[in-house]
Amino acid sequence: MERLFITGIGTDVGKTLVSAILTEALQADYWKPVQAGLTPTTDAATVRGLVQNPVSHFWPERHRLQLPASPHAAAAAEGLTLRPEDFELPATHNHLLVEGAGGLLVPLAPGFLLADLAQRFALDVVVVSRNYLGSINHTLLTLEALQARGLRVRGLIFNGEPTPATEEFIAEHTGVPLMPRILPEPEVTPTMVSRYAAEFRTWFGL
């Protein structure tokens, strides 16, 4: 069974889109442990709206915080201090995708980072990298931080406008497995998600 933590090189890089594609590809369950910002919608609701298979189960967030900010600040604004022991991995026998918030070292509380959750639950990691000037550095830093923590990279996904010089450098320098890339799409729809899901099923050997 795949137990995957979906992280990215920052916020807004496409983790939720990738989560929808992987949820559909694996008919996996999906869990967003901490949602910071509830309007106009949540990541779980977005993924649910993009996935069509009847198997995936959407586990409720452990914390739903109003403020679209770093989770540690969104929690503090509500008088909460999140603690590692508050979180339990959903009890499922299905594949499970766990979506982070922002990048790998985003804080949930003082001394408690999203990476700690991935370690606590021994999840393999999928890294989403979106191309922008500066994304090489952010991608390499993320991969080094994963390596330093002993977290296994299941795959790296490039999302957005292809930039061969960037992608080739990162692939050669790090040797991480590459998953299929995602192009800039005119619209994010269930049909588009299902098209990419087919490519990912092949990548997983399904």
Ligand X SMILES: Nc1ncnc2c1ncn2[C@@H]1O[C@H](COP(=O)(O)OP(=O)(O)OP(=O)(O)O)[C@@H](O)[C@H]1O
Nearest-angstrom CA–CA distance, 135 and 148: 20
Q: What is the 3-state secondary structure (H, E, C) of 126-187?
A: EEEEECCCCHHHHHHHHHHHHHHCCCCEEEEEEECCCCHHHHHHHHHHHCCCECCCECCCCC
Nearest-angstrom CA–CA distance, 141 and 61: 28
Taking the complex as a whole, the smallest distance from the CB of residue 11 to Mg ion amounts, in Å, to: 8
Q: Among residues 32, 63, 130, 154, which one is catalytic?
A: 32
Angle among Cα 41, 13, 28 to the nearest 5 degrees reads 65
**Which one, 65 or 197, has the nearer CB to ligand DNN?**
65
Contacts with 103 (C-beta within 8 Å, 6 or more apart), sequence order:
7, 8, 9, 10, 11, 114, 138, 142
Member of 60, 68, 84, 184 binding ligand DNN (CB under 6 A): 68
Member of 3, 37, 145, 171 binding ligand DNN (CB under 6 A): 37
| Binding residues for ligand X restricted to 160-199, rule: CB under 6 A | 160, 182, 184-185, 188
52 given a catalytic annotation? no
| Residue labelled with tokens 């983790």 | 15
Note whether 49 binds ligand DNN by CB under 6 A. Answer: no
Write the binding mask 30 to 59 for Mg ion: x where contact by CB under 5 A, - elsewhere: -------------x----------------
Q: Is 17 annotated as a binding residue?
A: yes
Note whether 106 binds ligand DNN by CB under 6 A. Answer: yes
Binding residues for ATP: 12-17, 43, 99-102
Binding stretches for Mg ion (CB under 5 A): 15-16, 43
Q: Active-site residue numbers?
A: 32
